[in-house]
Amino acid sequence: MSDPQLTTRGRRGFGPGLRAWVRALGVLAIVLMAAPLPALARPAPDSFADLADRLLPAVVNISTTHDAESAEPLIPGLPQLPPGSPFEEFFKDYFERFQNQQPPGANPAPKRKTRSLGSGFVISAKGLIVTNNHVIDEATEIVVAFHDGREAPAKLVGRDAKSDIALLQVEPKADLPFVEFGDSDKARVGDWVLAIGNPFGLGGSVTAGIVSARGRDINAGPYDDFIQTDASINRGNSGGPMFDMDGKVIGVNSMIFSPSGGSVGIGFAIPARTVQQVIRDIQQYGHARRGWLGVTIQQVTEDIAESLGMDHPVGALVQGVQSGSPAAEAGIEEGDVIVSFDGKAIEEMRRLPRIVAETEIGKSATVELVRNGKRMTKKVKVGELQDEIKAAEAAKRPAPGKSTGPAAEVKTLGLTVTALTPQMREKYGVGDDVKGVVVISVEAGGQAADKGVQPGMVIEAVTQRPVTTPDDLRAGIESARKAGRQSVLLQVRLGDRKRFLALRIDDAKK
């Protein structure tokens, strides 16, 4: 037997509640149709052939000639083995032992000419070519081979070892086919890419893959920001271009990670953004220009963050400030934690050098930092990075002075310190311009020993306060204890090297 109410609704139409629900669905459908659809990733093409045909003429092979020691064996019967051979190390050790037994004055191995191969790409019709610095480094001759078989000598316009970029020039008889740079910042993990180069000297070869990762730091240099790809990149691909699906260069293939020397699906390219800046600088100034702050920094660890009253480890801890540098003039101090530079967050230490380097020279940038648990801002005028050695020599050193204070010893934190008396300075080779207390013993197996503290190390500050006597160290520890902190931050020096250490207060002996 049917429900009479439902039957009535069935005959007369929807009830009031159901009609309202249907109207709401209609409004929602209209809103969804009006809203923009999310951008969908471009599907893989049926073929890369058209793209490859268009790009191959602008990709070149680069061969270089070098002077090298002769590789001819000095021991009769010593075999020449390919790189990576399991016997290579054995015969290498045997050969070195033989050489060490040669009589004094024996003739050295003769010089010989060696050739190496790499890749590059044309960026102007008039013959400008981009490649890796390591492809042409120390070359006595550079020859460029084009896709149609022509060859031409090339001269070096400029190079930058830190970014591993070099700019070459050939003198063509007619305009050359060339490629343009794209926006490497828009490349996303999962995007299709095409790599073209000269693997193993085989000539122009095309491989395809995807962007596997971005912002890779592989400890190749201070400004690592590589694009990682699984497109096959092998020996000889160095300096070749990485293209997006619009045929624009978004990276320069530079390195691979491989135990065998061949591709295992982990290759790295320098982003086009970095390459373009270096090329512009080389063309205008003859060398790469980078922003300079004038600080040495270290990573903020969990215990250092706690000792500074920070909620979590973030930013770059200022280890030292060079006298006369932009940082010094802006009032940045040792022990400050830089958490933002020119509006860009510094989530971890390694981001700061890259951001500063990419900042316009002469620009007044805002620096956000944490000092003694308090957040503050400073204005710094970005300088130009010079050779570190020359900059250090040009910097003014503080006026010499002698530490004063009692020679009493304080045993705390798993170490024993005393005042920097003339006798202690002489014993440990501490300069007269250094202030602090000197470590004279370290408890074996203690936390200080685990952190690398050793006799002769000078403690210059505790909780970002200068230390000149052992009592200053004790007072700094007590101050941190009263503030409820579990660790205390020490600024230490050994010779000319400075760093920060966080030691647990519960190990301190009153």
Q: pLDDT tens digits for 363-379?
A: 999 999 999 889 999 99
Task: For residues 310 and 369, state if they share a domain.
Answer: yes
Higher pLDDT, residue 247 or 471:
247
Beta-bridge partners for 410:
417
271 belongs to a structural domain: yes
Question: Residue 13: its pLDDT value, please?
Answer: 47
Q: Mean per-residue pLDDT for 307-314?
A: 87
pLDDT of amino acid 108 = 54
Please report the DSSP string for 333-344 in residue order.
Answer: -TT-EEEEETTE
Answer with the residue of higher pLDDT: 393 or 481.
481
Same domain, 300 and 389: yes
What's the whole-number mean pLDDT along residues 319-337? 92
Let me know whether 281 and 357 are in one domain: no
- Asked if residue 60 belongs to a domain, the reply is no
> Which of 46-60, 438-452, 456-470 is predicted most confidently?
46-60
Q: pTM for the whole thing?
A: 0.63
Maximum CA extent, the chain: 117
**Residue 32: predicted pLDDT:** 41
Provide the domain limits for residue 360: 291-394
The arithmetic mean of pLDDT across residues 133-138, rounded, is: 90
pLDDT-based confidence at residue 258 (cuts at 50, 70, 90):
low
Q: Which of 285, 300, 321 is the last residue of a domain?
A: 285
Q: What does the pLDDT average to over 402-409?
A: 44
Domain count within the chain: 3
Q: Does residue 295 sit in the same domain as residue 363?
A: yes
Q: Name residue 136's amino acid.
A: I
Residues carrying an active site annotation: 134, 164, 238
Residue 166: beta bridge partners?
131, 159
CA atoms within 13 A on the CB side of 267: 34
**Per-residue pLDDT tens over the stretch 158-215:** 999 889 999 999 999 999 999 999 999 999 999 999 999 988 777 788 999 999 999 8
Give the pLDDT confidence score for residue 390 in this predicted structure.
Answer: 46
User: Is the distance from CB of 428 to CB of 466 less than 8 angstroms?
Assistant: no
What CATH number is given to the structural domain containing 246? 2.40.10.10
Closest CA to 116 of 92, 148, 141: 141
Residues 316 and 281 in one domain: no
Q: pLDDT tens-digit profile of 7-49? A: 333 334 445 555 554 455 454 444 444 445 444 556 667 899 9
Share of the chain above pLDDT 70, in %: 74
What is the average pLDDT score of the chain? 79
Q: Are residues 203 and 271 both part of a single domain?
A: yes
- Look at phi and psi of residue 116 and say left if phi exceeds 0, alpha if psi is from -120 to 50, else beta: beta
353 in the same domain as 423? no
pLDDT exceeds 50 at position 329: yes
The answer to the question of residue 236 being in a domain is: yes
In angstroms, the CA 123 to CA 59 distance is 10
CA dist 157 and 322 (Å) reads 33
Banded model confidence at residue 391, pLDDT cuts 50, 70, 90: very low
Question: Residue 109 falls within a domain, yes or no?
Answer: no
Same domain for 246 and 329?
no
Cβ contact 349:299 at 8 Å? yes
CATH of the domain at 344: 2.30.42.10
Please check whether residues 444 and 501 belong to one and the same domain: yes
Task: Phi first, then psi: give them for residue 199, nearest 5 degrees.
Answer: -65, 130
Residue whose pair of structure tokens reads 């084009």 in the numeric block: 146
Q: Which residues contact 104 (CB under 8 A, 6 or more apart)?
A: none
Return the pLDDT at 114.
58
| Whether 271 and 319 share a structural domain | no
The per-residue pLDDT for 55 is: 95
Instruction: Give the pLDDT of residue 409.
Output: 64
Separation of alpha carbons 454 and 440, rounded Å: 8
How far apart are alpha carbons 433 and 172 in whole angstroms?
A: 60
In angstroms, the first-to-last Cα distance of the chain is: 90
- Range from 15-29, 215-229, 280-294, 478-492 that averages highest in pLDDT: 280-294
**CA 454, 458, 459, 464 torsion: positive or negative?**
negative
Residue 273 lies in a domain: yes
pLDDT at 497 over 50: yes
| Least reliable range by pLDDT among 110-119, 142-151, 310-319 | 110-119
**147 domain-assigned:** no
